[in-house]
Chains A and B, each alone.
Chain A
Amino acid sequence: MDIRSRRRRSGQRLVVTLFGIALLLFLLDAVGVLGNVLNLARGPLAGLIGVGSRLGEWAGRPFGSAETADELAALRARVGALERENEQLRNMTAQVGPALELLGRQNESTEITRVVAAVVGRGPNPLFRDLIINKGTNDGVRVGMAVESARGLVGQIYRASANASQVLLIDSPESAIPARLSQSRADGIVKGGGAGGLLVMNWLSLEAQVVLNDIVVTSGLSNSTPEERIANRFPPGIVLGRITDVQRSPANLFQDAVVQPVVDFNSLETVFVLTGFTPVDNNQFAPQTP
């Protein structure tokens, strides 16, 4: 056997071996064996993406002085903050008055601590909707924490390595967030549609009055599974979006509403990770074990 044919066979063997390794990794990840092992590799790679992001910002900067670019960024942030304030005021208008007078309770606000993070990239898999941020477990970020921007809820931490994290956006198909309508106070679950899909609020009672342009906020309640009931991740009152369409049929037990997110995920530069808040205590509703 000559050198050329030996090299050819070794090349073919390499391809088959790599295919086998990829298949093995796929199966190991499916059964959850890989766990945090991969986080060791994610850190340096996210660092490289961060450098790329800064170069991208530099390349995409508008022509003119650095002061102009800074001023533009500051004005954008100000507009975002004002829009958010407006949404919150509208939400409060719907909340205060009848409900508080009837119950005679004060509107309790939860204390929230936040970590500011820069968005360094978007996930490369178009089937999912996710972001990469430059803060990780070293900064107190943990899996499951809520992430918001100046305008409203962005998503939640899906994976966290030492210095970077992946954020699953609210319009990703894997995302499901307990939500409430501002006006009718009806509860439901906002689920993402992913690539080519819509953000939809499911499980709305047929009796609920769902009106167009109503604001959807997080309810602060937890999902229905026992595990989720204990670990509530989203504080109440964070704006998710507005109702743009209602799908109601008497044949169904519930109605659905299409939600337009308030956050423009393509222009996100800075986000806040909610590292601590006082959640609604749902443990009292958990099934009691004898």
Chain B
Amino acid sequence: MLRDPAGPTRALYLSLIVLPFLLAVQVAFLAYRPVLGVMIQLVPACVMAWAIGRDAAEAAVGGFVAGLLIDLLSVGPFGGTALALMIAVWPVEALRRRLPESRLLLPFLLGAVGIFTFSLAGLLLTRLSGYAIPWEAARLLLPTAVLHTPLIFVATVGMQAAGRLFGRRRVEL
């Protein structure tokens, strides 16, 4: 599972620097531009892209930071989004190991699975903590998952390209 053994620790620092800015873009800009009635969630999409393009353990660490930042600014239970994001990373990792490698199809499929799991886990945890979210909200789970796939694909490609540019390389002496 761990491609880079020091990755999760590095992911923690990287998340603390990058994710607040991505959240600012989501909250102040994208939240006012829903696509077909679905609010675009840039930060969870980037966490899923991290799991697909890099490593699930790193993405879980990123999901923890992202979730707490989201929960700080939202009305919902604190820690719920962090748990939902960390949970959503695991089916993505499990499927990635079992499915054949494909640079085009895999980000779309795994991205949809990841966002669907994240939204479902978020809904269940929110209801579990006593918030009166109606079950009708579950109708939006599938459209939300499908509409986020192009964004996750772009983020995955970008993350892989950044990994190739700035990632550590093995040097043979």
Chain A residues within CB distance 8 Å of chain B: 4-5, 7-8, 10-12, 14-15, 18-19, 21-30, 34, 38, 41-42, 45-46, 48-53, 55-56, 59-60, 120-128, 130, 132, 158-159, 166, 168, 172-174, 193-197, 266
Contact = CB atoms under 8 A, between A and B. Distances in A.
Contact of A124 (B2, B23, B125): B23
Interface in B67-117: 67-83, 86
Interface stretch (B28-36, B46-54, B157-165): B28-36
Contacts of A29: 77-79, 129
Nearest to B74: A125
A126 B20 contact: no
Given A18-B86, A22-B67, A194 B2 contact: no
B167 interface: no
Contact of A122 (B31, B122, B129, B133): B31
Contacts of B136: 193-194, 196-197
B77 A30 contact: yes
Nearest to A124: B70
Contacts of A45: 20, 23, 69, 72-73
Nearest to A60: B29
Given A42-B72, A49-B28, A124-B27, 8 more contacts: A19-B86, A122-B39, A123-B75, A130-B74, A166-B74, A174-B131, A196-B139, A266-B34
Contacts of A122: 27, 31-32, 39
B13 to A, nearest CB: 12
A30 B26 contact: no
B138 to A, nearest CB: 9
B9 A14 contact: yes
B9 A11 contact: yes
Interface string B1-27: 010011111001000000011011111
B23 to A, nearest CB: 7
A29 B82 CA distance: 13
Nearest to A125: B74
12 contacts: A11-B2, A22-B67, A49-B24, A51-B24, A52-B28, A53-B29, A123-B75, A124-B73, A126-B38, A158-B75, A159-B75, A266-B32
A19 B83 contact: yes
Contacts of B69: 45
A224 to B, nearest CB: 16
Contacts of A14: 8-9, 12, 61
Contacts of B26: 124
Contact of B73 (A23, A121, A172, A266): A121
A46 B134 contact: no
A101 to B, nearest CB: 42
A26 B129 contact: yes
A6 to B, nearest CB: 8
Contact of B123 (A38, A51, A127, A158): A127
Contact of A49 (B12, B27, B75, B139): B27
